C-alpha cells in the first residue's frame, strides 16, 4: 500500500439505516459492511460491494453503472429509477427484491437467488442470467406458450 492510498471509509461492521443523498460515490468500496435498511440517492458508478448486507435497502434515482456486487444480501431491497447497466451480480440473495424502471442492459447475474423477486418496466437488452440472454429466455417461453 502506497503512502498516497486513501483509506476506505466504507469498511466496517455497522452502518445500519445509513442515508446517502446527493452524493457522488463513484468507485466507492463497501466491504463487510452491514447496511441493512440503508437509503441511497446517489451516484455509485463503478462501486464495489463485497460481503455486504443490504437487506431492505432502498436505491432510488441512482446510477450504479459498471458496479459490482459480490456475496451481497439484497433481500427485500427496492430499486427504482436506476441505471444498473453493465453491472455484475455474483453470489447474491435478491429474495423478495423489487426492481422498477431500471436499466439492466448488459448486466450479468451469476449464482443469484431471485426467489419471489419482481422486475418491472426494465431495459433487459443484453442482460444475461447464468450466461443465457434474457431475451432468449423470453423467446423460448413465448414459443412454449404458443405451442
Output the pTM of the full model: 0.82
Give the tens place of pLDDT for each residue, 28-87.
999 999 999 999 999 999 999 999 999 999 999 999 999 999 999 999 999 999 999 999
Residue 94 CA to residue 74 CA, distance in Å, equals: 5
Sequence-distant contacts of 79-82: CB under 8 A, at least 24 apart = none
Secondary structure class of 120 (helix, strand, coil): strand
Q: Which of 69-78, 111-120, 130-139 has the lowest mean pLDDT?
A: 130-139
Residue 93: Cβ within 10 Å count: 21
DSSP-derived 3-state class of residue 62: coil
Q: Which residue segments constitute the domains of the chain, with CATH numbers given?
A: 19-146 (2.160.20.80)
145: cell is: 406458450
Give 91-107 pLDDT, tens digit per residue. 999 999 999 999 999 98
Amino acid at each position: 500500500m502506497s503512502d498516497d492510498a486513501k483509506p476506505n471509509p466504507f469498511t466496517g461492521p455497522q452502518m445500519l439505516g445509513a442515508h446517502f443523498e446527493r452524493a457522488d460515490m463513484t468507485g466507492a468500496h463497501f466491504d463487510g459492511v452491514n447496511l441493512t435498511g440503508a437509503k441511497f440517492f446517489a451516484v455509485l458508478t463503478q462501486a464495489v460491494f463485497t460481503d455486504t448486507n443490504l437487506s431492505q435497502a432502498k436505491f432510488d434515482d441512482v446510477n450504479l453503472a459498471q458496479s459490482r456486487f459480490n456475496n451481497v444480501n439484497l433481500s427485500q431491497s427496492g430499486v427504482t429509477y436506476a441505471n444498473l447497466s453493465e453491472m455484475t451480480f455474483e453470489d447474491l440473495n435478491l429474495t423478495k427484491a423489487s426492481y422498477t424502471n431500471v436499466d439492466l442492459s448488459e448486466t450479468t447475474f451469476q449464482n443469484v437467488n431471485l426467489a419471489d423477486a419482481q422486475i418491472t418496466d426494465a431495459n433487459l437488452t443484453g442482460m444475461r442470467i447464468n450466461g443465457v440472454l434474457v431475451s432468449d429466455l423470453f423467446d423460448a417461453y413465448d414459443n412454449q406458450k404458443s405451442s
